[in-house]
Structure formats: C-alpha cells, structure tokens
Amino acid sequence: MKQKGEAELVDARKESRQLYWMVGIFSFFVNLLMLTGPLYMLNVYDRVLSSRSFETLIALSVLVAFLYSIMGILDYVRGRVMGRVGARFQARLDRRVFGAVLRATTLNRAPREAATGLRDLEAVQRLITSPALMALFDLPWAPLFFWGIFIFHPLMGLLAIVGAVILIGVALFNQLTTKKPLEEANAASFASEQMGSQIRGESEMVHSLGMRGAAFDRWQIARGKSLDATIGAADASGTFTAMTKSFRLFLQSAMLGLGAYLVLMNELSPGAMIAGSILLGRGLAPIELLVGQWAVFQKGREGWRRLAVLLGTIPEDEQRMQLPKPKARLLADQVTVVPPGEKQASLRLISFEVKPGQAVGVIGTSGAGKSTLARVLTGVWQPAGGKIRLDGAALDQYDPDVLGQHIGYLPQRVQLFDGTIKENIARMSMQPDDAEVVKAARKAAAHEMILKLPDGYDTRVSANTGRLSGGQIQRIGLARAMYGDPVVLVLDEPNSNLDNDGSSALNQAIKTLKSEGKIVFIMAHRPAAIQECDMLLVIEAGARRAFGPKDEVLSEMVKNHNEIKRSAGKTGGVS
Ligand SMILES: Nc1ncnc2c1ncn2[C@@H]1O[C@H](COP(=O)(O)OP(=O)(O)OP(=O)(O)O)[C@@H](O)[C@H]1O
C-alpha cells in the first residue's frame, strides 16, 4: 500500500527532475566560488603583505568582489528555483490529496493519515523550499573543502575529518532523540487547532448554552499540551543546535591554533593557517544547518511518509465510462450498510424497486436508518453488501461528480458554502447557469423568497453564520438539490424547518417532479411530508419492515397496531 503511494509521490517529484539537476549544477558553482574567501586570505597574507604591493591587493579585491557577486546571484537563483519546485510539487498533488482526504470521510476503513493530508503536503513543500534541503545540495561538496585543508597540511586535514565525524555523529544522535518529541509536538498542535476551529464554528451554541468557560478550559488544556510538547521538542533540538554551533566555532579556533603551531614549526604559511580555518567553516556549514533545521526536515519526512500511506490506501478515482443520462428506475438489492468507522451495520439486506414518477416515503423511529439509506442512495457511502442500481447500472459505475448530477440530495442538516445564493444553488460551479438556477429555485418554491432578500440571488451567505433563517436555508438546499434536473431526489427530512406555506410548496414541488417522471425519496418523521408519496418504506432497527403502496402499508400498520393493543389488553399488559 505504502509503496504505491510512495511511487505516486516520487512521480510528482520526478516532474521537476531537470530543475533539481539545475540546482545541483548551480550548487557546484556556488561551492566552487566559496573557495574565493580562503584563496583571497591565502594571497593577501602570503603575497600582498610580504611584497607590500598595493596593486596586487586592489586587483585581488576587485576579482573577489566580482566572484562573490556571481556567487550571490547563483545562490539567489537556486533558492528561487527550489521555491518553484516546492510550489509545483504541491500544485501537482493538491487536488489528489484533497480528493483522498474527502473520500476518506466516507470510507469504512479510512487511514488515520487522512486527517492531516493537506498539512502533510504543505510540510513536504516547506521542506523542499527550506535551507535544509539546500544544505543537502551543499553536503556533497564538503569533501572539496576538506581536500583543500589536506593540501595545506595532513595534520590539519585529520583534525577537520575528526571534527566532521563528531558533528555528523551529533546530527544522527539529534535525529534519534528528537524524532519522537517532534512528532508528539506536531500531533498536539494539530489537535488543539482542530478543537479551536470546532469551537469557533459552533460559536453560537457555545454562547447560548453558556459553554464558553468549559470550552475555553478544554481548549486551554489542549493548547497547554501542545505548548508543552513544542517546548520539549524545541529544547531537545535547541540543545543540539547550540552544541553543534559552539563545537564548530571551537573547531575553527582549534584549526587556527594548530595552524599557528605549524607556522611556528615552519611547516605552514600564515595565509594557509587562516585559509584552513575558513575552509573548515565552509565544509561544516551544511551539517550545522541540517541540525539547526531539523524540525523542518523531520516534519517534511514525516509528512512524506504519511502522504505515502494516505495515497496508497485511497487510490485515485478511476476514469469511468460516460453512461447516458439514466432513466428514473431505481433498484436496491440486498443492501447492507456499515457507517464509516463502525463495525455494526445500520442497514441490513434492504431491497425495493422504484419506478419513474413514484415518490417513496421512508419512515421509522430515530436511529432506524433513514439517513443511512439517504447516504447510500446518493452514493455518499458505499454499501458493504448488495447493490443500488440506477437504470440498471450500479452507483459505483458512475463518476461521483456525474452521479451527483443525476441524484439530487437534501441532507438533514443543510450546510451552505461561503458565496452567493446563486453560487450555492449552482453547487459552487465556476460557471453557474443562471436559467438553471432560477428553474431549480422555482421548483423548490424558493424563487420569491430569494427575490425578497436585499441582493436577491447575489446575496452573500456564509457557512457558519448568516442572515438566513432555518426554513430559508432549507429551501435553498432544496433548490440546490434540484439544480441540473436530477432524475432521483433524496430529501432527508425536507420539512423539518418549514412552516405551512413551505410544506405545501414542498408538496407541490414533489407533485411536479412526479409528473416529470422523476423519483423522489422523502425521509420523514412528520405525516405532512409523506402526503404526496405513493409508496412507503418502513425501516425498523436497520431492517425493512414493510414496503408497498402507501395506503396498504399504513392500513397494515394500523391493523398490526390494533392487534398488539388487543393482545396486550387480553394478557392484561400495560395499556
Ligand atoms: N456518520 C455515522 N457514523 C457512525 N454511525 C452512524 C453515522 N450515521 C449514523 N450512524 C448510525 O447508524 C444508525 C442509523 O442512523 P440514521 O442517522 O440513519 O438514523 P435515522 O433513522 O435517520 O434517525 P433520525 O430520524 O434520528 O435522523 C444509528 O445507530 C447511528 O448510530
């Protein structure tokens, strides 16, 4: 699984292969030009000072200024290129990861990694653009600097190698000891952010139920945990950063000391003494940078691993064949549904057939499985067993976006998106069809109501707070369900927020849909909602109790009810 996901990530990375090569070549020249400083020192000490030649000093200084500016330009360009490589990687995978995160919410066995998918992608993007990755490009050139030191004197070379080995050892130890605290800090900060956004989203309820104190307390505990974990991780990696830095400075001084000793022993020139110390600094810089940037590195690596699991577990949507617009014929065949993350089925072996122009009322007590049926009829949840067929084809044979056009859905809790009413009815399409929007609103008996709003169809609404009443939201939700002329409509408690006018408008809408040969499902508690239904499906504890023409089913239920009452009376049961 993970390998498949990893292969997808590697493919995305490969798209920028040429740019990586370019940065590699630039890095070679940048590192070569880094020799400018030590060579300048060498010449100033050993030539200029001994010959007291101003001309040489000026010529050398001009040359150095030129070389440094070239180095600066190359360094700047490679930074910009990596910025774009990171952005390209993210842009290439954004849609895919978002799709997988969304799919995961409807799957029974979704991976834990789905919760942080987009955050993980950002962490990888940040790593690609960070100085830490640039340090990796510089690392292969470190031997060049060490080789330079060896040329000056083998003893100095040995000191440089020993120092580098110790620093690499510290870096590895850093990785081992900070991995867990950094992971914990990331998880804790994610949890506290999630809690904060949930409280913000439900701010009205938090205010009205006097939950502010309790919500703040809980949030603060989560925040405190996150802070503790972050401080722990920062302490751990900070210790290594400080250790590496002071050790590197000490090494540079030790190199100077050794150089001075060799000068005194007449085995080295003063210029080589200074140049050796600078070369050492250059050679060790990438290792020091890697240790300092370890948190970014760790987050990026962890993000990569988690993304590989997510993408490996949730494969890309297959291209499905374009089926013609289906006729309104719907068949449920032995359908069993297990909600996401649950073990127990909430619908078991449900079968029924609905013909064009029929409206089906679905009734049952709370928790019987009505909303579950709505979700499986719209393809939101996949059946764990059995099939739902629309015009002969199982729902999973349709592309999910295309299926959404054929089956309109009004969920129990209508959620609008930030945007205008027109955009919401047009299901946030980038090219809303005005005529279709009005048509859908008229069918949902929402047109007049929308026109009365300050900006009509262009009135802005928002996801969390808004100027619309519950009934208005429900009617806009109904219009959204009807947008694009779907052949099946699934309405989950459509009149829960409607007044009498709204209810009769809804019944009128159902009548029109039936006359157009559409199928309508109405999950309902209130009798007014099933007034226009011809068929009735009764669900009890997830099983089909009855299905048939409404009047027959109702009279059967009344008969059963009376019998139960009678037998209870005979046995002296509770009346
Ligand atoms: N998202 C979910 N995750 C886990 N279990 C769920 C989920 N949605 C529903 N269930 C479970 O499925 C069963 C049926 O719930 P469902 O919402 O379908 O009932 P309902 O008939 O629509 O009830 P109500 O009339 O109260 O809306 C319940 O036991 C519920 O716990």
Mutate to test the pocket of ligand 1, among 344, 370, 375, 377 (most ligand atoms within 8 A of CB): 370
Q: Is the minimum distance from the CB of 37 to ligand 1 under 6 angstroms?
A: no
Domain ranges of the chain: 1-130+299-316, 141-292, 330-411+485-570
Task: Output the residue whose Cα is nearest ligand 1's atom 18.
Answer: 369
Q: CA dihedral in degrees (322, 326, 329, 334; nearest 10)?
A: 10
Quote the CA–CA distance of 271 and 45 in Å, as a whole number. 5
Q: Say if 141-292 and 330-411+485-570 have the same CATH topology.
A: no
Structure tokens at 158: 């040995």
Task: Output the residue whose Cα is nearest ligand 1's atom 16.
Answer: 369
Quote the CA–CA distance of 326 and 366 in Å, as a whole number. 32
The ipTM (two decimal places) reads 0.94
How many beta carbons lie within 10 A of that of residue 250, not counting itself?
11
Q: Which atom of ligand 1 is nearest to the CA of 340?
A: 3
Q: Is the minimum distance from the CB of 370 to ligand 1 under 6 angstroms?
A: yes
- Mean pLDDT value across the chain: 87
Task: Output the residue whose Cα is nearest ligand 1's atom 25.
Answer: 366
Phi-psi group of 364: left, alpha or beta (phi > 0 → left; psi -120 to 50 → alpha; rest → beta): left
Q: 179: buried, middle or exposed (CB in 10 Å: 19+, 13-18, 0-12)?
A: middle
Helix axis angle, 470-482 to 434-443, nearest 10°: 120
Quote the CA–CA distance of 219 and 46 in Å, as a whole number. 66
Quote the CA–CA distance of 240 and 171 in Å, as a whole number. 8
Q: Is the minimum distance from the CB of 340 to ligand 1 under 6 angstroms?
A: yes
pLDDT tops 60 at residue 575: no
Phi-psi group of 386: left, alpha or beta (phi > 0 → left; psi -120 to 50 → alpha; rest → beta): left
Write the CA distances from 513 to 23, 313, 358, 517, 522, integer angstroms. Answer: 62, 40, 9, 7, 13
Question: In this predicted model, what pLDDT tens digit does every residue of 197-215 receive, in sequence order?
Answer: 888 888 878 888 888 888 8
Q: Is the minimum distance from the CB of 369 to ligand 1 under 6 angstroms?
A: yes
Question: In this predicted model, what pLDDT tens digit does every residue of 102-142 receive, in sequence order?
Answer: 888 887 777 778 888 899 999 999 999 999 899 999 989 98
Quote the CA–CA distance of 37 and 274 in Å, as a whole number. 10
- Please state the rounded mean pLDDT for residues 229-243: 84
- Please state the rounded mean pLDDT for residues 11-29: 92
Q: Is the minimum distance from the CB of 346 to ligand 1 under 6 angstroms?
A: yes
Number of H helices, E strands in the chain: 21, 12
Quote the CA–CA distance of 301 and 128 in Å, as a whole number. 10
Supply the pLDDT for residue 573. Answer: 40
Phi-psi group of 321: left, alpha or beta (phi > 0 → left; psi -120 to 50 → alpha; rest → beta): beta
Q: Looking at this protein, which amino acid is placed at residue 467?
A: R
CATH code linked to domain 141-292: 1.20.1560.10
Question: In this predicted model, what pLDDT tens digit does every residue of 418-477 receive, in sequence order?
Answer: 899 999 999 998 888 899 999 999 988 889 989 998 899 999 888 765 678 888 898 899
Question: In this predicted model, what pLDDT tens digit does every residue of 77-96 receive, in sequence order?
Answer: 999 999 999 999 999 999 99
Q: Which CATH number fits domain 330-411+485-570: 3.40.50.300, 3.40.50.20, 1.10.3720.10, 2.40.110.10?
A: 3.40.50.300
Quote the CA–CA distance of 505 and 254 in Å, as a whole number. 88
- In angstroms, what is the span from residue 328 Cα to ligand 1's centroid? 27
Helices (H), 345-394: 370-377
Structure tokens at 279: 């070369």
